[in-house]
Chain A
Amino acid sequence: MINVKNLSKKYNNKTVVNNVSLNIKKGKITSFIGPNGAGKSTLLSAVSRLIKHDVGEIMIDQKEINSWKSNELSKKVAILKQSNNLNVRLTIRELVSFGRFPYSQGNLTQEDWEKVDEALSFMELHDIENQFLDELSGGQRQRAFIAMVIAQDTEYILLDEPLNNLDMKHSVQIMKVLRRLVDELGKTVILVIHDINFASFYSDYVVALKNGEIIRQGPTNEIIEQGTLKEIYDMDIPIKQIDKCKVCVYFA
């Protein structure tokens, strides 16, 4: 379980995350939604110790995040940020093998390579595993980075806008993979996402942030609802039921 209690974070004097408390359920997909500048990415970065929080506490499996040893935590929580520009030239396989660093410290064993292979097949990257990352399309690159996170074999997988700059086909592909990670491998996935329809289709829980505060959180069904969305985005978003799914028509 990840429990966040009264978390606040300031940049200079601007409060970006203000007194946020939430519990993240194991074995589910939780989506953070909300307008730009709501503090979603900051919250995610704090939970994954990429940035230090000012006030409050973050408990990961009943242990405060700062008292975890960095290496131990990296076997528990993985984070993937939205911009992944590398200065080094790597093949997909090399990148994915970095995911084993927490276990092998760079000297990969047979078992580590097996995990790398598993991650590559899970993301269907085996046939292009020796291509260099700078030769790939955005969708393939994103899959390669997700494969690295899978090879890291953590209980919690945190993703900051994994669908950024991807077309529909690749977005669906990524979301299906995340769903499989949860359903087949029992991982816990937390992601920041902008398209509320993807959140509505694929996530179990939704946390809505606005101005650094959580304004609503709960099962997806309760949040994807006209009144709630009005509160979050300040716009009227009609919701249509198609088959069993709720679709938000936010274009007009």
Chain B
Amino acid sequence: MAELLRTHPLEAWAAALAELPDEVRITPEPFVAMVDVRVPAAASEGLAVRGTPLPTAPNTWTPTADGRMVWLGPDEWLLTSTGTVPHLLEEELRDQLRPVGGTAVDVSAQRIGLRISGTRAREVLAKGCSIDLHPRAFPAGRSAQTTLGQAGVVLLSLGEEGFAVLVRSSFAGYLASWLLDAGLEYVPLG
């Protein structure tokens, strides 16, 4: 039998998103393994997971060897990894964290990522996000759990490279149409 094909939640939106001008670049991120990591706050200080210390400052994220570690709460993180099979990553982390009272759950398909960049990126996000995204307030390495339009998102500042938005897969289509609509005024009449 042929290998099972994967279907990206934003497959149908890719063409329309690609039509946006350079001022607003919206690119769906490829599939990536994501594991929700829970470690009791007391055990998390200085704890390294796959070589990267868990960020303990609220609303921050740190890069890892092949992904990101996002602070979600005093005892919760989201670990992403481009180089690992999701269920194997879950297994590995479950084994590592069980002794410190931690847990790990594969949530790779729960959310999908979008990269938003370009000179108008902040303006487009400001149409539906009440968080201050100015570089003075939301520099690279900052994250937020907030709403964009009416979709709950995890928002990461990538600094010069714009923003990453992690959205529930079921809301991805809504968010894509919302973003296309928000970006419409920058699309030249062709």
Q: Do A and B come from one complex?
A: no
Q: What is A's interface to B at a CB cutoff of 8 Å?
A: none
Q: What is B's interface to A at a CB cutoff of 8 Å?
A: none
